[in-house]
Amino acid sequence: MTQIGMAIGVLYALALASLGLGLFVLLRAYGLQHASEKRAESTRAQCDAVFQALRGEIEACAERLRDLEQQSGAAPAAFAGKAGLNLTKRSQALRMHRLGESAVRIAAALEIPHEEVDLLLKVHRIVIGEL
């Protein structure tokens, strides 16, 4: 063989080796991508199962809370979260009482619990009695 023939043979061998290496890298990348997709799918399925379980627990807790509220005669949702009487509502309640409104009507009109109106009127009577 001549030197040129040998150089061409080496070049063909290098080209063939490069092609083989490129094919190996491509197949390896495909395999890694496939494995990664399977892991992601598995993780997604596990997360969905956990979310479904949590959703079920939350719904069960909400149902128990509704049952407890019904059993205890808790205040209606309209009054939940409203903390006490502010000065404006207190003044309005006393004004309505002076005009002859009942405690039930005052509570309904001002959207406050009936018990708070009763307590306000009792305290007002005590304070007025001491003057």
> pLDDT tens digit string along 57-85?
999 988 988 888 888 765 555 445 555 56
Domain assignment present for 105: yes
Q: CA 63 → CA 19, 24, 50, 55, distances in Å? A: 66, 58, 20, 12
**Structural domain of residue 103, as residue ranges?**
81-130
Domain assignment present for 11: no
Quote the pTM value.
0.39
Domain assignment present for 87: yes
Cβ–Cβ < 8 Å for 114, 106: no
Domain assignment present for 40: no
Q: How many domains does the chain have?
A: 1
Domain assignment present for 58: no
Residues in the chain, overall count: 131
CA 116 and chain centroid, separation: 33
Domain assignment present for 106: yes
* pLDDT more than 70, % of the chain: 88
Domain assignment present for 31: no
Domain assignment present for 108: yes
Question: 91 exposed, middle or buried (CB, 10 Å; 0-12, 13-18, 19+)?
Answer: exposed
What is the identity of the amino acid at 107? A
